[in-house]
Structure 1
């Protein structure tokens, strides 16, 4: 039997916050999706769902990758829509967390679920086996739990929870679908309350709450301690609780109290008094605009328990503790934390100690391996390292002794002994052979599911490394490498944020020459985000301030030459983009034979923000595309309008799908949902182009432009904005020059020009803007603050 899950259409049951967002993400991925809920009491029976779909547009961050996608979701209700289920290949149930409601719904839909379809419950903690028990015999082997994290588009983690009856092939097929189609990082969990991510994650929050009180710290101080300083998200502890919703938090804590009576930490599974009081007042966090934090005008206030009122948030971090946390060596850092007498350091050591203790004691019951726990915490909670990685990095044996000492001394939250395997002489749980599994008492390698062959560089755990390929060519800006016997070479940038300087420009040109000679294609790909934050502004400003106009012009000309080299390479150059691709980074992918985008690609020609215009061939390329689209007779100006607005307003696409809408990506470019598969797909595209007899495009000689009429029309729009004070006079200056270049200069409407003409225009206007004091102010301000200046 094939374990391939073929999904033409999906159904999501429940149009609440999670259900609607899961439906949105399925739609992002091109899956035809039906969203169900109860019939409305009056009016359109699908009213509940249509309102939920409309609400998707208001959520931030946006669940939909493109504005028009909401209309693709099919609304339905349980009274007259169940026939639609017969065509669905996967059914995801996401109704409220009540066992009786879920079971009633399963009885109702069972007769309509197709014989081959997979049924999955998106529960965050209810028993999967208990849910399976109410299903008819023929459905049980196709049922399991799949737990998406909120928000489903952005959180990488999806926990897969098999029931006792789940067919292995069904699980493998679902894991493949979640990984490639929806772009998720899948962790298989055991059927225990709250599974892996929330079991460890909520415990770590409860531990932080307990120690906040014990050491008398303010909520804002704890957030300053438990955020990026220790490799956790900015929302840290209490801000996370506000975002999740304090009522939701209390509900999860109650679930732990009810379902884990034998947990040695059970006495801590209760809602703190202050949390219950906030909930009673209706202060539920972000959704009610007040919780642990609230906003007053522009100020952020934090709850002060002593004063029983909000005060200005200060987050006083002790200078010594802050210095201690900057220590690069984890062993030294943990030793210093444990030795320190400062309440802030004692608080942190206690939080780490109790989370390590809890994770070790529960590993065997909740997961197969330590890897599953660490990846769940990284992908579901945004930790830079999971608990076992942190422990191992700090020195496994030493930390284990310290935890044991604290347990004996009555300092730990529980007297439960650490499991024997912790002390069997090991140096940790992760090795190059695999990750430790207490149940098997063995090191278990990564999953052998064929879907993972698509990940050349998976997210590495501590102690894991993946072969880097052999270096073909390297300079100070780039590295060109390939795998043994491979026809496609890969080019990666070495600069900070992958910005573009002379070394990168010269390196790209040299690499393309090598690829033409020795390979069949070239992929531009970065091992880490971003793709490229654009030109190296400090270098450019240096040349201008030194008055080296010749050097500055030469740099711009070299940039343009590099883009043209990418476009006219004799082997296909494919750009593999994820994260930011701004300015020159965006222009490089515009010149590639093809671009493969990760869904989370944020692309923009943002030069206007620093007082410049795109001059790496971007405007030229937009003019060429408009001419091609309009053909011999169409309206070139109409094709330019969206592109002009994108550039003049320095818009950044919030997804690869939106990049196409803004005309910064081509309609035919590929969008990949799993960033770890990006390199695999890009290499396959390059090979496919080579196999089909690739030739670069012929030089564009007859480009039809919008000319003086186009420029005048754009300027009319700009004058209105200037008079309405929406833009400054310098904004007007920049945008007018962008209009001039994109329309092909002051020539007659529908004149024919060539690429060189457009490239020269780009360069002239770029150099003219660069010499203006207001532009230089903008560049300096951006370099200093990272924010654009409106002058």
Structure 2
């Protein structure tokens, strides 16, 4: 962690400013949040006898922003207590307090004159080493800093956070013409290590990198929709995952961002760009202007291209021909259906480019224009193609960046097709197409990844030393063993990694087999084991389809054997004589969390969403999760105190029964999924590194495994108390009869069955109860209905 940044001021408490403040507070920084002084009293303030001179009034705007952060969903910080690190004030009384700050971020309204004024005033109060930055989505960094003294301009730069700052990985850092390169390097390292950001260095050009390419892609898509005679929902079918983009695609994204916001950005592009032909691309279509005039600006206004039907709850789409909303419809296209079934973005794009119908022609047109534009603008907006690709992946959540698409689809083949269609190739494409191999990325000496630069040469893609790439390790011969579901990879220094790579990292026989082999390997010749990988989510749980198929065939012995084998594999890891460290991130559900429960230590990504969610499909956790939650409830009782588990057990029971999922790693500690001593990593790219260091630390400090536990259970009294709560929920209509049945099975396991309070039982006893309950529930038709519904829709069924 950079020791020089401890206190930060954010100037501007609007949507972005307050959200940036929440992010910084969540990273453990002291934050000062300032905004303007109100020019009039509210009726409530007047009634209380306050005046415009009252400090409460003068700080009102920032104070209200802080209060709104407490109510905001999804949460803007990792834990509600993070917000206590934010102090509020105003831009008239509190500017002298900037002298105590290490970093000052201007985040006021996106107007050049206002930003210039605030930045110039802030510059008068900075201490000599403090960094001053502006959060702007596209205004000139040099112009904003014009009024600052030369010594401040050396410490001035753009820091463009993407909204919402907590959840969007991209941070564009934009040096001004006078910015000291050492300041850029310092802020790049701090933003990655402490804030967990993916940092891209951008040039001081209109809208920088991500918004420049992303806004162009939106503009081209709007034009193509009309040209190809498609509707918004049909376009979204084409421009979502099938093209390697997020599920929100084009028009759902516009609704989320705000259609008026898009108009603002597009108009800024028209004003800032010198080329008339390029400016014309960003002309706002008449139907967009009409939507803004009607106030149909997206989700914040209750509707935009989509709205929720108040009676049915179904999402409807705007019919631009009638200006009325209608039910959504899927685009009928064999080409799209074939592409959608393919596993990787590159494969899906290749399928689309085979053509054959209007949908495929639309996809090719949009893709072609975006790829050409990115290549044409490379020298203007970035130093190399890696910066452009990372910006689009981190900022717009594309699976592949534009230049990764060029390589995946074949630069030479694409160039020939485009030239045949009358397109002019950008210099970068013509240059790369003339080489062998014709790629924007290549492997240099020693397997180092190199990328094409704006200068027309190749250079190494910077990889922080704290980043471990399993792909590169395997390419370098570090693969120890593997099967279709998981692999064992040598991380060096005597640490082995169990990498999950089944579809959605679901746990099935292959993964369990590799868990068993990992335990054998580590016991025999390794110092420690790390469980982690580089996918999108850590693990979604057990292979639900496999379990359902066995249940439909009434293969109860097979199900029992699979559950028993998983339980034993988890126990084996828990009592391994060498330390095991799990590195969860993203969705870590069901069996994935049960694997984490087995680890001696968990090193979780800050954005880790952990939960035992089996009740949502009519089951209970049976890989040791139910047992572990009961054990953790019992462990909270101080030594020597009479065993009364009710308060702790009730909390644990409700957490599992309601399938609660943490909103962050910090929240997972509150729910009992993580322990106080478990670590949290903000920068996802260094998660495996941090997990490896934790494993080595345990190994080198003389790690000793825990002794098999005996668990004091709540017994019949605790079970009776919990069942009363369940009955109350059923009477209130909050749960169904089948929910009651699931809850009673869960209660039996967590309280130990028909035993007196305080009876101590071995873990194996509760594991047997888990397995019995699982088998009983999966034999129920209503449970199988829930499983089918989840597999078909991705949503729980309440039956």
TM-score computed with the length of structure 1 as normaliser: 0.91
SS of equivalent residue, structure 2 residue 680: strand
Residue 379 of structure 2 contacts residue 454 of structure 2 at CA under 8 Å; is this kept in 1? yes
Say whether residues 1:394 and 2:424 are aligned partners: no
How far residue 559 of structure 1 moved from its aligned partner, in angstroms, is 2.5
Say whether residues 1:119 and 2:126 are aligned partners: no
SS of equivalent residue, structure 1 residue 120: strand
SS of equivalent residue, structure 2 residue 32: strand
Residue 369 of structure 1 contacts residue 435 of structure 1 at CA under 8 Å; is this kept in 2? no
Taking a change above 3 Å as real, the CA distance of residues 750 and 422 of structure 1, as seen in their structure-2 partners, is closer
Taking a change above 3 Å as real, the CA distance of residues 284 and 465 of structure 1, as seen in their structure-2 partners, is farther
Aligned pairs for 1:554-569 (under 5 A) are 554-569=561-576
Distance 1:212 1:108 in 2: 47
SS of equivalent residue, structure 2 residue 234: helix
Distance 1:593 1:251 in 2: 51
The match for 1:259 among 272, 291, 300 is: 272
Distance 1:160 1:443 in 2: 22
Corresponding position of 1:24:
22
Taking a change above 3 Å as real, the CA distance of residues 545 and 242 of structure 1, as seen in their structure-2 partners, is closer
Taking a change above 3 Å as real, the CA distance of residues 641 and 324 of structure 1, as seen in their structure-2 partners, is closer
How far residue 648 of structure 1 moved from its aligned partner, in angstroms, is 0.9
Corresponding position of 2:5:
7
SS of equivalent residue, structure 2 residue 607: strand
Corresponding position of 1:598:
605
CA deviation string 1:648-681 (max 9, x = no partner): 1111222212211211111221111222211111
Residue 5 of structure 1 contacts residue 174 of structure 1 at CA under 8 Å; is this kept in 2? no
Aligned pairs for 1:12-411 (under 5 A) are 12-40=10-38, 41-42=40-41, 43=45, 44=56, 45-262=58-275, 264-297=277-310, 298-320=313-335, 323=338, 342-407=357-422
The match for 2:735 among 699, 706, 727 is: 727
Distance 2:24 2:169 in 1: 14
CA deviation string 1:250-305 (max 9, x = no partner): 11111111111236422223221221122122221221123233343334443444
Distance 2:345 2:750 in 1: 53
Residue 102 of structure 2 contacts residue 130 of structure 2 at CA under 8 Å; is this kept in 1? yes
Residue 13 of structure 2 contacts residue 62 of structure 2 at CA under 8 Å; is this kept in 1? yes
How far residue 4 of structure 1 moved from its aligned partner, in angstroms, is 4.6
CA deviation string 1:327-357 (max 9, x = no partner): 8999999899778585444433322222222
SS of equivalent residue, structure 2 residue 636: helix
The match for 1:643 among 652, 664, 677 is: 652
CA deviation string 1:443-501 (max 9, x = no partner): 021126xxx1111129x8xxx89736523344564322214x52111112343322223
Corresponding position of 2:467:
455
Unaligned regions of 5+ residues in structure 1, if any? Answer: none
CA deviation string 1:572-602 (max 9, x = no partner): 0111111222222111211210111112222
The match for 1:431 among 426, 429, 442 is: 442
How far residue 522 of structure 1 moved from its aligned partner, in angstroms, is 0.5
Taking a change above 3 Å as real, the CA distance of residues 423 and 525 of structure 1, as seen in their structure-2 partners, is closer
How far residue 78 of structure 1 moved from its aligned partner, in angstroms, is 1.6
Taking a change above 3 Å as real, the CA distance of residues 265 and 502 of structure 1, as seen in their structure-2 partners, is closer
Distance 1:761 1:564 in 2: 16
How far residue 438 of structure 1 moved from its aligned partner, in angstroms, is 5.2
Taking a change above 3 Å as real, the CA distance of residues 749 and 207 of structure 1, as seen in their structure-2 partners, is same
Corresponding position of 2:478:
470
SS of equivalent residue, structure 2 residue 147: coil
Corresponding position of 2:627:
620
How far residue 309 of structure 1 moved from its aligned partner, in angstroms, is 4.2
Corresponding position of 1:739:
747
User: CA RMSD, aligned part only?
Assistant: 2.9
How far residue 93 of structure 1 moved from its aligned partner, in angstroms, is 1.5
Which range is displaced more, 595-604 or 24-33?
24-33
Taking a change above 3 Å as real, the CA distance of residues 104 and 446 of structure 1, as seen in their structure-2 partners, is same
Corresponding position of 1:520:
527
SS of equivalent residue, structure 2 residue 28: coil
SS of equivalent residue, structure 2 residue 783: helix
SS of equivalent residue, structure 2 residue 584: strand
Residue 242 of structure 2 contacts residue 345 of structure 2 at CA under 8 Å; is this kept in 1? no
Distance 1:169 1:737 in 2: 61
Taking a change above 3 Å as real, the CA distance of residues 624 and 75 of structure 1, as seen in their structure-2 partners, is same
How far residue 116 of structure 1 moved from its aligned partner, in angstroms, is 1.9
Distance 1:572 1:331 in 2: 38
Distance 1:687 1:675 in 2: 19
How far residue 124 of structure 1 moved from its aligned partner, in angstroms, is 0.6
Distance 1:328 1:585 in 2: 22
Taking a change above 3 Å as real, the CA distance of residues 527 and 342 of structure 1, as seen in their structure-2 partners, is closer
CA deviation string 1:363-397 (max 9, x = no partner): 11111011211221111111122222222322212
Residue 254 of structure 2 contacts residue 262 of structure 2 at CA under 8 Å; is this kept in 1? yes
How far residue 785 of structure 1 moved from its aligned partner, in angstroms, is 4.3
Taking a change above 3 Å as real, the CA distance of residues 523 and 314 of structure 1, as seen in their structure-2 partners, is same
Distance 1:759 1:346 in 2: 56
Which range is displaced more, 240-249 or 525-534?
525-534
SS of equivalent residue, structure 1 residue 10: strand
Say whether residues 1:750 and 2:758 are aligned partners: yes
Aligned pairs for 1:405-420 (under 5 A) are 405-407=420-422
Taking a change above 3 Å as real, the CA distance of residues 321 and 481 of structure 1, as seen in their structure-2 partners, is closer
Say whether residues 1:684 and 2:699 are aligned partners: no
Taking a change above 3 Å as real, the CA distance of residues 341 and 593 of structure 1, as seen in their structure-2 partners, is closer
CA deviation string 1:172-206 (max 9, x = no partner): 11111111222111111111110011111111111
Residue 551 of structure 2 contacts residue 559 of structure 2 at CA under 8 Å; is this kept in 1? yes
Distance 1:39 1:545 in 2: 67
SS of equivalent residue, structure 2 residue 583: strand
TM-score computed with the length of structure 2 as normaliser: 0.90
Distance 2:348 2:749 in 1: 56
Distance 2:277 2:391 in 1: 22
Residue 132 of structure 1 contacts residue 140 of structure 1 at CA under 8 Å; is this kept in 2? yes
CA deviation string 1:528-551 (max 9, x = no partner): 133222223344445545555444
SS of equivalent residue, structure 1 residue 160: strand
How far residue 13 of structure 1 moved from its aligned partner, in angstroms, is 1.6
How far residue 603 of structure 1 moved from its aligned partner, in angstroms, is 1.3
The match for 2:704 among 695, 701, 708 is: 695
Say whether residues 1:652 and 2:664 are aligned partners: no
